[in-house]
Structures are given as structure tokens and as C-alpha cells.
Amino acid sequence: MKNLIGILTIFALLTGCTSQKMMLIYKTEGVEIGQNTSGIDILKKYSISKPITALRSSLSLCIAQELDNSPVVLINENYYGSHWWSYYNMPNHQSITVSGGETIKLVEGNNVVASAVTNYQYYSKYFVSYTLTATRNKNDINYLFSNIKQAQQYTGSSVNDGFENIKTVARAHPDLVIESLNKEVAKIHECLERQ
């Protein structure tokens, strides 16, 4: 009996350490799941449509004003602290600067293609880069996000690998990535309806 309890305890610890797929992301409307070269599920695309109630500004102007494609600095630092206490960073002078560039890439007819970066906070700061294709239709605007990747700003003593595909596991926070993309849509839509 003691052996069985010991085996079950070890099994529980091992399975608790592995990151499980976030099933919620598979049920989120507008999410398209793909696979990376290793066959692991990743967040491939995300689309959402918003109705047009009153269009007071141009789509390309609002995208240029509201989205940001500035360079980001990703840092590899040693730190002391925990999720509950302040972090004390001890720089080791290893960082990656990921170039930004022009936000608007193409304006053609009712379509605007842009590249941008946003962020969210989950104990540490995460940057999310993406390509947005916004299409103005008669009654709505469709926002299609592709090439979605993320990077953690501070990776502690681990090497900072820069922007990577977003896996569908809980530790990759695909739900927070979608939330940050929805905030980008909200900013554009508020600009379009602003007087």
C-alpha cells in the first residue's frame, strides 16, 4: 500500500509539472490552430469582426495612430525574488533588440495590412508581435491577425530566444495573447468612432 501511495504521489508530481493544453483556446471563436515544425499545436491566426456603427475616420489613419511597431528590448538577467515579492535584477548585459519598422505595410482598396507589437503582464512583461489585415466591409470591419509570436522581456538566467510561436499550453498564456489582440482591435474601433 505504501508503494502504491508513493507511486501515485510521484505520478501526480510529474504530471503536475508538465504543462497541459489550454482547452479554452481551442473553443475560442476566431482562433485557428496550426502546428510548428515539431508537430506541436500553436496559435496560427485569430480573426474577429466588429460592426460599424459610425465611421468618422479612415481605417488606415486609425491603425497608424493606434498601433505601435517600435523596437523592443528583450533581456536575459539574473534575478532574485518570487511571484509575490519584488524582483531584484542583476544585469549580465545580454540583451536582444528586435527591430520595429513602419506600422502600415499596405493599403489597397478596403484592406490595410500592418505590423505591430503589443504587450501584456503576467508576473513578467510579454511582447506580442503580429501582422494585421483589416478589411472594411459594408457593415463591419474584419481584423485578421497572423504571424502571431511572443517573447518574454526578462527571462532570468535562461537565454532569451526572442519571438517564438505561441504554443497552446497554459504556460504560454494563449488566452492572454488573444486578450491583448482584442485590446488592439478596441483601440482601432474607438478611433474610427471618435468625433
Per-domain boundaries in the chain: 21-193
In this prediction, residue 147 carries a pLDDT of: 96
In this prediction, residue 14 carries a pLDDT of: 42
| CB atoms closer than 10 angstroms to residue 78 | 13
Nearest Cα to Cα of residue 164 among 80, 82, 102, 96: 96
Grid cell listed for 185: 482591435
pLDDT digits (tens, 9 = 90+) for 145-157: 999 999 988 777 6
In this prediction, residue 157 carries a pLDDT of: 66
Helix or strand run (H / E) with residue 74: strand 72-80
In this prediction, residue 19 carries a pLDDT of: 56
Backbone φ and ψ of 149, nearest 5°: -140, 160
In this prediction, residue 15 carries a pLDDT of: 42
43, 150 Cβ separation under 8 angstroms: no
pLDDT digits (tens, 9 = 90+) for 97-145: 777 889 999 999 999 999 999 999 998 899 999 999 999 998 999 999 9
- Mean predicted confidence (pLDDT) in 20-24: 86
Which range has the worst mean pLDDT, 19-33, 114-128, 157-171, 172-186? 157-171
What predicted TM-score, i.e. pTM, was given to this entire model? 0.80
Paired with 191 in beta bridges are: none
In this prediction, residue 41 carries a pLDDT of: 96
